[in-house]
Amino acid sequence: MRIGQNPAKAIDRVAQPRDVTVAIVTNIPFLSGYYAQSLDVFQTSLSSLRASTPEPFDLLIFDNGSGPAAREFLQAEYAAGNIQYLIFSEKNIGKGGAWNFIFGAAPGEVIAYADSDILYHPGWLARSLEILNTFPNVGMVTARPLRSKEKYFSATLDWARQAPEAELAQGHFSSWEIFNQHSVSCGIDEAQSRQWFGESSDWKLRYRGLEAYAGAAHFQFVAHKRVLQELLPFEMDKPMGQVRTLDEQLNAAGYLRLMTTDALIAHIGNTLPGAFAPNPTRPRRRFADQTWIRKPLMWLYHKIFSVYFDR
């Protein structure tokens, strides 16, 4: 039996969500080994987000099965009003599962997605939104240049070659420093990085006075929610390794995949020192880094991780 009247009935207006939802997925199961600095990286990422984003936004965090330390930090941030929407998943449901939830539930009309190891620079959101709202039929915009295989943005090139107002040029427009910055953060050897830099190229588009590069990255992007919802649900049976599905489906649907011409975000990786320096240096190659030793050790590491944490 109800006694009295719900006080909420006297409220004639509820808070409305911001147009942009910044959505971040994190998974920090423990603070040792590969994850030793992951919480520090995540905290650095959030600090740079707040310092570099004057535009209004709501922050949505999807915690994908983290351990106690990360959960405690997130709960404190939520209590302090720094997170508007906080979701805890009991288990790691993978990137695809997290995307299914976020793209379906984010309240904003624009979703600015990122992994939890991204460093933000001033202008990242404004420039991304400018490209998103100027170019037609945009699927996603990443706030830094990088190079990927053309098969993932062939629809973008096809559009640029046919659109009367578009200009398209191929060449080495982005610098080696910007290219190598991202390569180092991904653990790519400099010799291999220089080879790829020499063999690959940038595709630069100009449309209605605005320049962008062709391509994008699934670890950070800005997109219209309605476009992302067209792709749901993602069916991925692994925690990672199948994220190219997003790139492939957007390209197959004819959407443009674009990037800013300046590096306005950076991928930090799982360690902080020097990871996002303008011209980072790598430590001297260790004996354990030799391929014939590293591969079996990493295989064993992944097997052990799966036994204890992938469940």
Model confidence pLDDT, tens digit, residues 132-157: 999 999 999 999 999 999 999 999 99
Domain count, the chain: 1
Q: Mean pLDDT throughout 245-264?
A: 97
pLDDT tens-digit series, residues 218-230: 999 999 999 999 9
Nearest alpha-carbon partner for 165 in 208, 126, 214, 103: 208
Tell how many helices (H) and how many strands (E) occur in the chain: 10, 12
Confidence label for 68 from pLDDT (cuts 50, 70 and 90) = very high
Q: How far apart are CA 263 and CA 121, in angstroms?
A: 8
Q: What pLDDT is attached to residue 242?
A: 73
277-300: b or e for each residue (b if 16 or more CB lie within 10 Å)? eeeeeeeeeeeeeeeeeeeeeeee
Q: What is the mean pLDDT of the chain?
A: 88
Q: Per-residue pLDDT for 40 more than 50?
A: yes
| Greatest C-alpha distance within the chain | 75
- The pLDDT of residue 67: 97
Any domain includes 303: no
Assign 15 a pLDDT band (cuts: 50, 70, 90).
Answer: confident
The SS3 of residue 1 is coil
In single-letter form, the type of residue at position 4 comes to: G
Asked whether the predicted pLDDT for residue 306 surpasses 90, the reply is no
Cα distance between residue 135 and residue 253, in whole Å = 16
pLDDT at 167: 98
Task: Give residue 237's pLDDT.
Answer: 67
DSSP-derived letter for residue 209 is: T
Return the amino acid letter for 10.
Answer: A
Supply the pLDDT for residue 288: 55
- Kindly state the average pLDDT of the residues 120-125: 98
Residue 182 lies in a domain: yes
Give domain status of residue 272, yes or no.
Answer: no
Confidence of residue 296 (pLDDT cuts 50, 70, 90): confident
Instruction: Look at residues 73, 92, 87, 91 and name the one whose alpha carbon lies nearest to residue 23.
Output: 87
CB atoms within 10 A of CB 156: 30
- The better pLDDT of the pair 38, 1 is held by 38
Q: Supply the DSSP string of 240-260, one letter for each residue.
A: SS-THHHHHHHHHTT-EEEE-
Among residues 185, 145, 199, the alpha carbon closest in space to that of 45 is found at 185
Q: Residue 73: inside a domain, yes or no? A: yes
Q: Residue 131 sits in a domain of what CATH number?
A: 3.90.550.10
Q: 161: exposed, middle or buried (C-beta count within 10 Å: 0-12, 13-18, 19+)?
A: exposed
Is the per-residue pLDDT at 289 higher than 70? no
Residue 165 belongs to what domain range?
20-267
| pLDDT beyond 50 at 283 | no
Beta bridge partner(s), residue 206: 167, 211
Q: What does the DSSP 8-state code read for residue 303?
A: H
Helices (H), the chain: 38-52, 68-79, 94-105, 124-134, 154-162, 176-185, 190-199, 225-229, 244-252, 291-309
Copy the structure tokens of residue 164. Answer: 């009367």
Please state the rounded mean pLDDT for residues 32-60.
97
Residue 13 domain-assigned (yes or no): no
